[in-house]
Amino acid sequence: MRLVVARCQVDYAGRLSAHLPMATRVLMIKADGSVLVHSDGGSYKPLNWMSPPCKVTEGVTEDGQVEWLVTSRASGKGPADTLRILLEEIHSDSEHDLGIDPGLQKDGVEKHLQELLADHPASLGTGLTLVRREFPTPIGPVDLMCRDANGESVAVEIKRRGEIDGVEQLTRYLELLNRDPLLTAKGAVRGIFAAQEIKPQAKVLATDRGIQCVTVDYDALRGMDDPTERLF
Amino acid sequence: MRLVVARCQVDYAGRLSAHLPMATRVLMIKADGSVLVHSDGGSYKPLNWMSPPCKVTEGVTEDGQVEWLVTSRASGKGPADTLRILLEEIHSDSEHDLGIDPGLQKDGVEKHLQELLADHPASLGTGLTLVRREFPTPIGPVDLMCRDANGESVAVEIKRRGEIDGVEQLTRYLELLNRDPLLTAKGAVRGIFAAQEIKPQAKVLATDRGIQCVTVDYDALRGMDDPTERLF
DNA sequence: CTATTCATTTCGTGC
DNA sequence: GCACGAAGTGAATAG
């Protein structure tokens, strides 16, 4: 990774034409040749950039200014994109060996939702209390097993996006759970299908099978915990 | 703008939870407080970031490591986002005054399309030749004035996206142009509505008024020129 | 493999 | 100021 701070002018020709007047900016050249032109504001998006794979050719103009010509190696289809950077004054130029990044771990929303709902089962329905998370069945664990105010068992399936297969899954669980006399002592085990967003098809299928759908407000749930506690 | 190259670990909690294991990365802190965590690959998108407005608090952990806590000043709605960066080893740390950026100039596709079509009028219709660009009328210039193989005049209106108002515009031009005996000597001036993409409504209106619609292949047109010539 | 959907989307535009 | 659509969208997921 090469980092250059310089007064520069940028011209891009590709899907569109764009021009950046002469000003001081940060230029980031990544190991794959991709180039990012950042200013001191805006969002994470650079003012201009060139996506990999591409190649940077460093040259000098007639009047002695440094010029970078970045060309994308677009394979075949259409003319190649070009990014031309004219460097008037270089304030800083450094090279850094970063190595290969292990990459981002997204601690899935589904898992996090399960934790939050396990802490606040009543948000799925008044009077609900948690029996246990990952309640085992012969075909896999049910996300949450709860009990309602009447002592009836409630199996909860949690998804980020509720689709048909999630309803099918919960249906299979319910089928098995309802064979257990211990769970059905106070009445049949009923199901709750909880998700941030439930697709209409899934809602229809669930309703048809007597499964209750609950749309979960992730933000509101998170708000019940102290934000600083949520790190790690 | 502050640039830091450091071995670091990043934890984010906001709309989702995410974690970046310890590795060497580039940290960019912009003047508005926004923070970007970049690795040496991927696209222009950082591995993780915090959008402005936000605040960076630098602290030290129990074991003497530098810790940055970036918090968004999300006004009211929901819990604030937090980005925690633990710095194990700092390779470089520099501050740069970039000033205010004049910003990106998108030299509209429309203008570029006009230049390209002026160079290749036959791509709008066989036998078409250019009379002149920006052909003047009392209510403004027509993008292109052409002549077809029969010597008839053809007025061309160019848009990036063809919508109803563009058709209206061309209609007004045609109305005026058809009062000019010089232009109508070989027959009435006809219109061509050219755009990268033409909305169905605009297509219906144009057809109704006897205006021909041409969907322009921007990439193909650009390919007719030498890509290196297209800068500036 | 392609096609569709999602995004910590960001960014502009019209109302 | 807010709702809606486009993006040089890119990335993940379904089919």
Contacts of A31 in chain B (CB under 8 A): 40-41
Report, as an integer, the average pLDDT of B50-67: 92
Best to test chain B binding among A11, A12, A15, A17 (most B CBs inside 10 Å): A17
Q: Report the CATH number that the domain containing residue B153 is assigned in CATH.
A: 3.40.1350.10
What domain range is B166 assigned to?
A: 109-230
For chain B, how far is it from start to end, CA to CA, in angstroms? 29
Rounded distance, CA A181 to CA B113, Å?
74
- For residue range B150-185, what is the model confidence (pLDDT) as tens digits? 999 999 998 877 878 788 889 988 999 999 999 999
Question: Using an 8 Å Cβ cutoff, are A98 and A207 in contact?
Answer: no
Q: Which residue in the block uniquely carries the two structure tokens 């027509």? A: B142
Report, as an integer, the average pLDDT of A188-206: 86
Q: Which residues contact B26 (CB under 8 A, 6 or more apart)?
A: A1, A3, A28, A96, A98, B3, B4, B5, B37, B38, B39, B40
Final residue before a domain boundary, out of A48, A63, A95: A95
> For A1-5, A165-169, B201-205, which range has the lowest pLDDT when averaged over its residues?
B201-205
Q: What is the pLDDT of residue B178?
A: 96
Q: What is the pLDDT of residue A57?
A: 94
Together in a domain, B116 and B208: yes
Together in a domain, B62 and B150: no
Final residue before a domain boundary, out of B95, B126, B147: B95
Q: Which residue in the block uniquely carries the two structure tokens 């794979």? A: A53
Together in a domain, B133 and B83: no
| Residue of A195, A203, A121, A192 lying closest to A160 (CA atoms) | A195
Report, as an integer, the average pLDDT of A39-65: 92
* Sign of CA pseudo-dihedral A38, A40, A42, A44: positive
Residue A201: which pLDDT band, with cuts at 50, 70 and 90? confident
Position B145 in a domain: yes
Note whether A21 contacts B227, CB cutoff 8 Å: no
Q: What is the pLDDT of residue A95?
A: 97
Contacts of B223 in chain A (CB under 8 A): 78-79
The closest CB to that of B92, out of A79, A94, A222, belongs to A94
Q: Which residues contact A216 (CB under 8 A, 6 or more apart)?
A: A113, A117, A123, A124, A158, A194, A195, A196
Residue A164: which pLDDT band, with cuts at 50, 70 and 90? confident
Q: Report the CATH number that the domain containing residue B32 is assigned in CATH.
A: 2.70.180.20
Residue-averaged pLDDT of chain A: 88
Higher pLDDT residue, A77 or B63? Answer: B63
- For residue range A73-86, what is the model confidence (pLDDT) as tens digits? 765 545 678 999 99
Together in a domain, B56 and B125: no
Residue A221 CA: distances (Å) to CA of A119, A159, A203, B209: 9, 15, 22, 57
Residue B139 CA: distances (Å) to CA of B58, B118, B136, B161, B173: 61, 21, 8, 22, 7
Complete DSSP assignment for B50-71:
EPSSEEEEEEE-TTS-EEEEEE
Report, as an integer, the average pLDDT of A166-171: 89
Q: What is the pLDDT of residue A99?
A: 92
Together in a domain, A28 and A136: no
Complete DSSP assignment for B70-95:
EEE---SSSPPPEEEEEEEEEEEEEE
Share of chain A above pLDDT 90, in %: 57
Residue-averaged pLDDT of chain B: 87
Note whether B96 contacts A36, CB cutoff 8 Å: no
Please count the structural domains in chain A: 2
The closest CB to that of B30, out of A20, A41, A48, belongs to A41
Contacts of B86 in chain A (CB under 8 A): none
Note whether A24 contacts B51, CB cutoff 8 Å: no
**Is the pLDDT assigned to residue A226 strictly greater than 60?**
no
Q: Which residue in the block uniquely carries the two structure tokens 């504001």? A: A41
- For residue range A87-121, what is the model confidence (pLDDT) as tens digits? 999 999 999 999 999 888 877 677 778 888 999 99
Position B101 in a domain: no
**Is the pLDDT assigned to residue B228 strictly greater than 90?**
no
Question: Using an 8 Å Cβ cutoff, are A174 and A84 in contact?
Answer: no
Residue B229: which pLDDT band, with cuts at 50, 70 and 90? very low
Position B102 in a domain: no
Together in a domain, B120 and B183: yes
Could you give the residue ranges of the DSSP H alpha helices within chain A? Answer: 109-119, 164-177, 200-208, 218-223
Together in a domain, B83 and B136: no
Question: Using an 8 Å Cβ cutoff, are A1 and A96 in contact?
Answer: yes
- For residue range B101-141, what is the model confidence (pLDDT) as tens digits? 988 887 767 777 888 899 999 999 999 999 999 898 888 88
Rounded distance, CA A70 to CA A14, Å?
11
CA B126, C1' D12: Å apart?
45
- For residue range A125-142, what is the model confidence (pLDDT) as tens digits? 999 999 999 999 988 889
Q: What is the pLDDT of residue B122?
A: 93
Position B151 in a domain: yes
Higher pLDDT residue, B5 or A218? Answer: B5
Together in a domain, A18 and A128: no
Residue A67: which pLDDT band, with cuts at 50, 70 and 90? very high
* Sign of CA pseudo-dihedral A19, A22, A28, A34: positive
Position B6 in a domain: yes
The upper half-sphere exposure of residue A117, i.e. CA atoms within 13 Å in the direction of its Cβ, equals 34
Kindly report the CA angle at A45 between B220 and B81, in degrees rounded to 5? Answer: 145
Higher pLDDT residue, A49 or B72? Answer: A49
> For A1-5, B106-110, B210-214, which range has the lowest pLDDT when averaged over its residues?
B106-110
| 3-class SS of residue A52 | coil
Higher pLDDT residue, A196 or B133? Answer: B133
Residue A232: which pLDDT band, with cuts at 50, 70 and 90? very low
Q: What is the pLDDT of residue A73?
A: 74
Complete DSSP assignment for B157-220:
EEEEEE-HHHHHHHHHHHHHHTT-TTTTTTS--EEEEEEEEE-HHHHHHHHHTTPEEEE--HHH
Note whether A13 contacts B227, CB cutoff 8 Å: yes
